[in-house]
Structure 1
């Protein structure tokens, strides 16, 4: 019987690479995205496109309203997306986002009988987000196996984070080796409705630097000239 995995996909470079890696390891993949009121909604179109291109079993979009609590430049239009690096945890951090997303993915994984959840968190080029650290993932996995019927009955679930300690360049190299079409992905925090990137935000800078370091042509469509 094929092993099943739920894969969180945002339409971005990292999560698309994770999906390809899960498939390469023989998992039947069920992808999940979240329409949470984010500013960069072009990512939802990209998530569906990449899931379809990679041939997942099922792609699901769950609607949430994180704008109702705000607190992030991605969920509150009154907070500008920064175009420099102020240091510390940036305003693009969405409070409790990965905890909410992983909890819903956990529920679907239990329904499906999946043995793993794959997520593209990264502790190297991660913008300082606290819910992208190894300690956080370990704590969530422990909680997941305490909180579910499957866990109590001995069917433990693993949170897979293959990108955790990879640089952006190495993530791109891994994806290229697996045939990922990065032209389908959108990483920008403020991409326009056509999916064109600003070239200025933190996510754009990390993505562009990754392609440069990997020595791979950048397929990103920019609405304006990217940063040097």
Structure 2
């Protein structure tokens, strides 16, 4: 009789980074329980991508939590009155969603306790990103410390580890890693203003980082763009 694989909760948005993290966790022998958040994001077509990716990579289970952050607004991703920037901006951009990663990690922590899982994976990255404060290594460490203070499982000796395997990788490195693990990036949606078919604008921050990553990685870009010239 063989021992069961360890369980892990994977935060899965349906974008390039989180899909790569799912593939990494699978390659490390985890049974992966994927968690997505429908926060009434402008680009909620990413949730369909998350379903596709979870199925393609053999997730043990995939849940989508409904939590309407548009009630607060404060971000171009949750308030249609705030435009998504199509040029580089200074400082933390308006696509930052207040407390989003903290909310998502908290939900993943709750599910991990129920599953008796000791591992959580998140696709944050501190290099090719938009300067979001909740994408830094020190934030991930701080959340892990909090998780091990605040949970019954940890108090009883089952400590939680928050894994951020992409934290110090370039977008090109992420793409190379996922490509080697068989990730079909054509299933993913990264664009902040993707249309209902998942076609990308090609000009928002997320699209710019993604396009440059494929070029630098030397991997063919399977992204569907609304305008053919956007993918050049």
Which interval holds the TM-score relative to the shorter structure?
A: over 0.9
The aligned counterpart of 1:223 is: 226
| Aligned residue runs from structure 1 range 58-77, under 5 A | 58-77=61-80
- How far apart, in 2, do the equivalents of 1:4 and 1:86 lie? 40
Q: 1:48 aligns with which of 45, 48, 51?
A: 51
What is the Cα deviation at residue 115 of structure 1? 1.1
The aligned counterpart of 1:19 is: 22
- How far apart, in 2, do the equivalents of 1:115 and 1:138 lie? 15
- Deviation digits for residues 25-65 of structure 1, max 9, x if unmatched? 00000000000010001100000000000111100000001
- How far apart, in 2, do the equivalents of 1:87 and 1:213 lie? 24
The aligned counterpart of 1:190 is: 193
Q: 1:91 aligns with which of 80, 94, 112?
A: 94
* TM score, norm. by length of structure 2: 0.97
Asked if 2 retains the 8 angstrom alpha-carbon contact of 1:205 and 1:227, the reply is: no
The aligned counterpart of 1:7 is: 10
SS at the partner of 1:41?
coil
Which residues of structure 1 form unaligned runs of 5+?
Answer: none
Q: 2:121 aligns with which of 118, 121, 137?
A: 118
Asked if 2 retains the 8 angstrom alpha-carbon contact of 1:9 and 1:32, the reply is: yes
- Deviation digits for residues 186-214 of structure 1, max 9, x if unmatched? 00000000000000100000000000000
- How far apart, in 1, do the equivalents of 2:149 and 2:204 lie? 39
What is the Cα deviation at residue 227 of structure 1? 6.2
Asked if 2 retains the 8 angstrom alpha-carbon contact of 1:200 and 1:227, the reply is: no
* TM score, norm. by length of structure 1: 0.99
Is residue 103 of structure 2 the alignment partner of residue 106 of structure 1?
no
SS at the partner of 1:77?
coil
The aligned counterpart of 1:179 is: 182
- Deviation digits for residues 135-174 of structure 1, max 9, x if unmatched? 1000000000000000100100100000000000000000
CA RMSD of aligned residues (A): 0.7
Which residues of structure 2 form unaligned runs of 5+?
Answer: none
Q: How many residues align?
A: 228
Asked if 1 retains the 8 angstrom alpha-carbon contact of 2:225 and 2:231, the reply is: no
